[in-house]
């Protein structure tokens, strides 16, 4: 489903004429199967976020190939990435990334608006999702008026609205208290079990990582072969 073939990435930093090349990822070979929950763990600076950003298409790899659902995406244009992202991926961010001037309902309905769904259909879909996530009473609230847990639910609802096959989560519980963290992890497991959604999660929290079918450890931009754990093995 998601396949990284010998992916390398390096950043070029510094001013022109005085640039410095910083290698971040080295020869990453990774395969995430349909319906899997894969946790990527590692210390800060190990390249976890860069790996997720490469798969999301926010940055392009310096070399190597990324294939999603059999489609090589490495050479996608900005426009192609936008369409692909909207249909195939759902995103859960650590800091929720909700638009402050939009209500919870508007934030959640955003992917449906971008996809060109009719007003009636998206209203129906968003209302159903809010109901499912238990935040229907907060539809008219702005993000600033919601608790962290409620905001994350809006963010999860937004990620799931178009029923994408893959959810990419960057420290999804990073801003949540332990109760909300537990609720979110249960929701992830439920969605995976019931809808077969694939989850690729970045975390440095062992508890969060432990819900994954597999844990992949990144050390200094390399997959630590010894660090791969199979939860259900």
Partner 1 sequence: MRTRDRFRFVLQNMKKNKMRVSMTVLATAMGCAFLIVLASVGFGLQRSVVEEITGGRLLTEITIYAKQSEEGGQPLTIADIEYLNSVKHVKTVTRRQMFPAGVFLGQDDKQVQTQAIGFDAASEKKAGLELSEGRLPSKDNEIVIGYDLGQTLAGDQAAKTLINKELPLRIEAGEGTEGAEGELTEDAISATIVGITKKLSREWQKDHYLYMDFGLFTKLKADFLDGVAEGDKQLETYEVSVFADHVKYVVGIADTIRAEGYMNHSVANELDKVNVLFLIMKLGLILVGTIALLIASIGIYNTMTMAVTERSQDIGIMKAIGMHPKTVKSIFLIESSYIGLLGAIIGTIVSYGISGAVNVGLPIIIERFLKANPPEGLMFSYIPLGLTLLCVGISIAVAIMSGMRPAVRATQIDVLKALRRDL
Instruction: List interacting residues with partner 1 (CB under 8 A).
Output: 53, 56, 58-59, 78-79, 82-87, 89, 91, 93, 95, 97-99, 101, 110-111, 113-116, 118-119, 158
The CB-of-50 to partner 1 minimum distance in angstroms stands at 10
Q: At what angle do helices 148-160 and 104-115 cross, to 10 degrees?
A: 20
Contact 142, 151 (CB under 8 A): no
Query: Please, which residues bridge with residue 67 across strands?
Result: 3, 72
Cβ proximity to partner 1, 122 vs 214, nearer residue: 122
The CB-of-93 to partner 1 minimum distance in angstroms stands at 7
Strand ranges for the chain from DSSP E: 2-13, 20-32, 37-42, 63-68, 71-72, 89-92, 166-170, 198-202, 214-219, 222-223, 229-230
Cβ proximity to partner 1, 70 vs 116, nearer residue: 116
The CB-of-227 to partner 1 minimum distance in angstroms stands at 26
Cβ proximity to partner 1, 176 vs 211, nearer residue: 176
The CB-of-207 to partner 1 minimum distance in angstroms stands at 25
The CB-of-116 to partner 1 minimum distance in angstroms stands at 5
**Strand, coil or helix: 134:** coil
Contact 154, 146 (CB under 8 A): yes
Cβ proximity to partner 1, 118 vs 178, nearer residue: 118
Q: How buried is residue 99: exposed, middle or buried, by Cβ count under 10 Å (0-12/13-18/19+)?
A: exposed
The CB-of-149 to partner 1 minimum distance in angstroms stands at 20
Cβ proximity to partner 1, 156 vs 211, nearer residue: 156
Phi-psi region of 64 (alpha: psi -120 to 50; beta: other; left: phi over 0): left
Cβ proximity to partner 1, 11 vs 177, nearer residue: 11
**Strand, coil or helix: 47:** coil
Identify the CA nearest to 102 among candidates 158, 21, 183, 41. Answer: 158
The CB-of-66 to partner 1 minimum distance in angstroms stands at 17
Integer Cα distance of 53 and 18 in angstroms: 26
């Amino acid at each position: 489903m998601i396949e990284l073939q010998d992916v390398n990435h390096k950043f070029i930093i510094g001013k022109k004429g005085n640039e410095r090349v910083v290698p971040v990822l080295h020869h990453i070979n990774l395969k995430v199967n349909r319906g899997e929950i894969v946790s990527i763990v590692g210390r800060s600076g190990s390249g976890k976020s860069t790996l997720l950003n490469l798969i999301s298409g926010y940055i392009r790899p310096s070399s190597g190939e990324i294939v999603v659902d059999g489609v090589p995406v490495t050479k996608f244009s900005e426009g192609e990435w936008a369409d692909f992202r909207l249909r195939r991926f759902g995103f859960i961010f650590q800091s929720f990334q909700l638009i402050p001037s939009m209500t919870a309902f508007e934030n959640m309905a955003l992917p449906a608006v971008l996809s060109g769904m009719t007003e009636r259909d998206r209203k129906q879909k968003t209302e159903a999702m809010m109901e499912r996530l238990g935040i229907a009473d907060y539809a008219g609230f702005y993000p600033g008026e919601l608790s962290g847990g409620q905001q994350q639910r809006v963010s999860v609802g937004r990620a799931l609205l178009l029923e994408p096959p893959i959810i990419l989560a960057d420290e999804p519980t990073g801003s949540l208290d332990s109760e909300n963290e537990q609720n979110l992890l249960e929701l992830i497991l439920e969605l995976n079990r019931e809808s077969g959604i694939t989850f690729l999660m970045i975390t440095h929290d062992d508890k969060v990582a432990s819900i994954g079918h597999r844990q992949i450890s990144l050390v200094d931009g390399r997959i630590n072969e010894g660090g791969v754990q199979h939860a259900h093995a």
